[in-house]
Amino acid sequence: MKRLVVIFALVCSILPVAIPRVRVDFDHANDFSRYRTYRWAGPPNADFLNQLMQKRVIGFVEEALAAKGLKRVDTGGDLVINFQMNVTEQPVYTTFGSGGWDWGWGGGISTTTTQVFLTGILTVDLVDSQKGRLVFQGMSSAPVSSKPTHNTRRLARSVNEIFEKYPPR
């Protein structure tokens, strides 16, 4: 029974870290229906990502924008797109206890372990090229895995969830 409680506590402590979270913000007064084209601002600010992962993120963003009817151009464009990737360390503390109480005296031992989880925060900015003003921003946070295939799937899902909310209604 004690093992079941310990396993349940461990799952509950890790679960909030494992669920991707997506948030978007946008200019509520902006008319998004007038945007038809976009261009990239330049190299992304994503030091954590290697060139392969950067290329994948760019592909996921372009795929999502194409699904929304936007076309990529090399110069000009209605929107300027940029993304950045930051990674933070989040410690998770787990305490295991054993022993019991004997006539009012404590006789148990507890041990606390620390695990560090990496959380990646992907931010995608859409800037109105005419006004030079941010009009849409999507942020997604998810755990970083040591396996590139897991990270690729998470990035694809994060980008898709961000652009599910574009254009804002």
Q: What angle do CA 18, 16, 23 make, to 5 degrees?
A: 85
Largest CA distance in the chain: 80
| pLDDT of the residue at 66 | 96
* Architecture in CATH for domain 20-164: 2-Layer Sandwich (3.30)
| Torsion sign over Cα 162, 163, 165, 167 | positive
Q: Answer whether 46's CB lies under 8 Å from 84's CB.
A: yes
Q: Please, which residues have CB within 8 angstroms of residue 165's CB and are 6 or more apart in sequence?
A: 22, 24, 138
Share of the chain above pLDDT 90, in %: 54
Q: Answer whether 83's CB lies under 8 Å from 101's CB.
A: no
| pLDDT of the residue at 103 | 59
Give the model confidence (pLDDT) of 44-80 as tens digits.
Answer: 777 778 889 999 999 999 999 999 999 999 999 999 9
Query: How far from the centroid of its chain's Cα atoms is residue 83's Cα?
Result: 12
Low-confidence ranges of the chain (pLDDT < 50): 4-6, 8, 10, 15, 17
| pLDDT of the residue at 102 | 55
| pLDDT of the residue at 5 | 45
pTM listed for this prediction? 0.75
Strands 79-98 and 37-40, by their bridges, are parallel
Please state at what angle helix 51-67 crosses helix 148-164, rounded to 10 degrees. Answer: 30
